[in-house]
């Protein structure tokens, strides 16, 4: 797509990034709407430009900064994140931690867990299983869509209990 960008949109990727840097948007959809409505960029190219712009923006932060920024104004949830993070890292040296702007992904051969501070009082823990029944606590994936198959809502560190840790271990084992 990048090779065709100048021909199809009249600007290079760097020119688009410079233009987007001047905007005060924070959400992916806002950047896309701007490109589509103000510059008549097609949906596919608007998505590509926005992804590349936001990828560069996220790359300017360290992993520690990305995680710290997720918990600004959500201080009570940082201890929950720390507990989950420490638990997952103990599974083995093959665990890869990939912080993004709004969540932290955990992978081995594929993603098996995703920690997202969804509100000021709740972390959504996404888990990916091959075939596990949903329960009242181990819900459908909700906002995670196809990235995860299940979600656990956590509002208190006490909810990081043996049952939850066992689910994390199961998801980890299935992802190997």
pLDDT in tens, 131-155: 999 999 999 998 788 889 999 999 9
The pair phi, psi for residue 155, each rounded to 5°, is: -120, -5
Planar angle of CA 92, 88, 69, nearest 5 degrees = 130
Q: Which of 69-78, 96-105, 136-145, 160-169 has the highest mean pLDDT?
A: 160-169
The predicted structure's pLDDT at residue 21: 87
Using DSSP's 3-state secondary structure scheme, residue 129 falls into: coil
Q: Tokens representing 153? A: 């809502």
Specify whether the CB–CB gap between 95 and 85 falls below 8 A.
Answer: no
Question: Which residues are CB-contacts of 24 (< 8 A; sequence separation ≥ 6)?
Answer: none
Query: In angstroms, what CA-CA distances link 133 with 29, 72, 174?
Result: 33, 34, 15
Across 110-115, average pLDDT: 97
Confidence of residue 54 (pLDDT cuts 50, 70, 90): confident
Q: What is the mean pLDDT of the chain?
A: 92
């Amino acid at each position: 797509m990048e090779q065709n960008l100048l021909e199809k949109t009249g600007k290079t990727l760097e020119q688009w990034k410079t233009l987007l840097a001047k905007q005060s948007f924070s959400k992916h959809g806002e950047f896309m709407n701007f490109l589509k409505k103000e510059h008549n960029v097609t949906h596919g190219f608007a998505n590509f430009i926005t992804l590349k712009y936001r990828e560069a923006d996220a790359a300017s932060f360290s992993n520690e900064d990305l995680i710290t920024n997720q918990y600004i104004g959500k201080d009570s949830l940082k201890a929950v994140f720390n507990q989950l993070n420490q638990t997952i890292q103990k599974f083995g040296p093959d665990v890869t931690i990939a912080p993004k702007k709004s969540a932290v992904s955990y992978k081995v051969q594929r993603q098996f867990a995703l920690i997202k501070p969804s509100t000021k009082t709740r972390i959504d823990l996404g888990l990916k299983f091959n075939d596990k029944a949903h329960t009242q606590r181990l819900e459908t994936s909700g906002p995670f869509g196809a990235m995860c198959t299940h979600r656990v809502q956590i509002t208190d560190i006490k909810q990081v209990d043996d049952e939850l840790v066992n689910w994390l271990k199961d998801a980890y084992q299935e992802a190997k």
